[in-house]
Amino acid sequence: MKVLENHSLKKLNTFGIDAAAKYFVEFASIDNIKEILSERKFSTCNKLILGGGSNLLFTKNFDGIVLKNELKGIELLKEDADFYYVRTAAGEVWHEFVMHCIKNNYAGLENLSLIPGNVGASPMQNIGAYGAEIKDHFYELEAFHIGDKTIRTFNNSQCKFGYRESVFKRELKDQFIITSVTFKLLKNPKFNTSYGAIEKELEAMNIKEVNIQAISKAVCNIRRSKLPNPAEIGNAGSFFKNPEVVKGKYEFLKINYPTIVGYELENGNVKLAAGWLIEQSGWKGKTFGDAGVHKLQALVLVNYGNAKGNEIFDLSQKILESVKEKFGIELEREVNII
C-alpha cells in the first residue's frame, strides 16, 4: 500500500473538480485499513472515505487522508423459501452489482439500475430512484469503527433510513467505514412499475411480459435520456433534496402556482419537486463561467469544464436564497460538501 501525497482528485469525483488530497491511499482489505490507521500521522488527521465520488463537491483541497475503497467480492450467503441473502463488498460498483443480481434473478434492485457510485455509499443516503429505495431490500451492513477499530453490524432499523438519509449522515457521521452490505432479495419478484415513465418505456420497448431484466433496461433507457452523463458534463446528480411541506402550505402555494409539482406522503405532508421550484425561480440553463444549472434538469448543477468547487457551491447558495424568497421554502443540499 502506497500513501500518495498531494494527490489529484479530479478524475475521482464526477463533478470533475480539480482538488487534491494531502494524503491518498487505496485499501483492499480491513487489514489495510488497520495498517494505515496504525500510523499516528493518519490516525489523527481528517479522513474522507471515497467511493465513486458521485455525491461529493470539493470546495477546497482535502487537508487529511482520502481512503479510496477497493474492497471487492459478491457472495450469496444463504437462501430460504422466499429470499436470497447477498453480501457485497463496499468497493463494488453499484450498477455492476445490480447487473449481477439481475443476471442471477435476485429481484428487488432493478429500479435502482445505473445509479453511479459504489455499494458502500448506497446506505449513506439510502439511495433511491423510480419508486424504490435500498432500505426496501437492505438486510444488514458491516462497518469498521474508526475509533476503536472493531467491526460492527447494523440492521435495517439501526441504520435509521429516511429519504436520502441514514444514521451515517447524522449521529454517526465520519465514525465508520462501511465494508460490506447484505441485501435480502426476492425469489418471486414484485414488479414496481408505478412510475409512469417506466410503464411508457416498457410499452415503447414492446415488452409483452414484464420481468426484472426489462424493468432494469427501461430504467437505464430513461436515465440515459434524462440525466447528463458525468463522463461528458461534470455533475453529481440531484444537487438538492425534494422538500417536504405541510399540506396547508402546499394548498396555499397551489393558489398562486397551479402547476406546482408535489405528491402526498403517508404522513399527510406533501413532497415538492425541487427541480420545479428551481426552474420557476428562473435558474434552469443559467451558466456562470463553467458553473451552471443543467438546461434540461434544473435540479442538476454542472461543471462545463473548469469550474471551481466553490463556484458551484456559491451558485447553489444563490439558488437556495432565491427559492426561499419566492416560495418561502428552504431547500437542503443532497450532495456532500467537502
Ligand X SMILES: Cc1cc2nc3c(=O)[nH]c(=O)nc-3n(C[C@H](O)[C@H](O)[C@H](O)COP(=O)(O)OP(=O)(O)OC[C@H]3O[C@@H](n4cnc5c(N)ncnc54)[C@H](O)[C@@H]3O)c2cc1C
**Residues in contact with ligand X by the rule CB under 6 A:** 14, 48-56, 69, 90, 115-118, 120-122, 124-125, 127-129, 176-178, 227, 230, 235-237, 336
Written as one letter, the residue type at 84 is Y
Strands annotated E in the chain: 4-8, 20-27, 46-50, 56-57, 62-69, 74-79, 83-89, 128-129, 132-133, 138-145, 151-155, 176-186, 234-238, 244-245, 262-264, 270-272, 287-288, 291-293, 300-303, 336-337
Give min distance, CB of 269 to ligand X, in A: 20
| SS3 call for 238 | strand
Q: H/E element holding 160?
A: none
Q: Which of 113, 180, 216, 238 is catalytic?
A: 238
User: Of the two residues 154 and 176, which places its CB atom closer to ligand X in the complex?
Assistant: 176
User: Of the two residues 136 and 327, which places its CB atom closer to ligand X in the complex?
Assistant: 136
User: Of the two residues 168 and 327, which places its CB atom closer to ligand X in the complex?
Assistant: 168
Q: What is the DSSP string of 79-128?
A: E-SSEEEEEEETTSBHHHHHHHHHHTT-BS-GGGTT--SBGGGTTTTT-E
- Phi, psi angles (nearest 5°) of residue 152: -120, 155
Q: Is 26 a catalytic residue?
A: no
User: Of the two residues 319 and 335, which places its CB atom closer to ligand X in the complex?
Assistant: 335
Give min distance, CB of 315 to ligand X, in A: 17
Q: Is 223 a catalytic residue?
A: no
Distances (CA, A) of 266 to 50, 246, 247, 260: 35, 12, 12, 19
Which value, in Å, is the radius of gyration of the alpha carbons in the chain? 21
Give min distance, CB of 153 to ligand X, in A: 14
d(CA 133, CA 13): 23
Give min distance, CB of 155 to ligand X, in A: 17
Q: Identify the residue whose cell numbers are 431547500.
A: 331
Q: Which of 92, 133, 311, 334 is catalytic?
A: 334
Q: Is 238 a catalytic residue?
A: yes
Give min distance, CB of 258 to ligand X, in A: 28
Q: Provide the annotated active-site residues.
A: 164, 238, 334
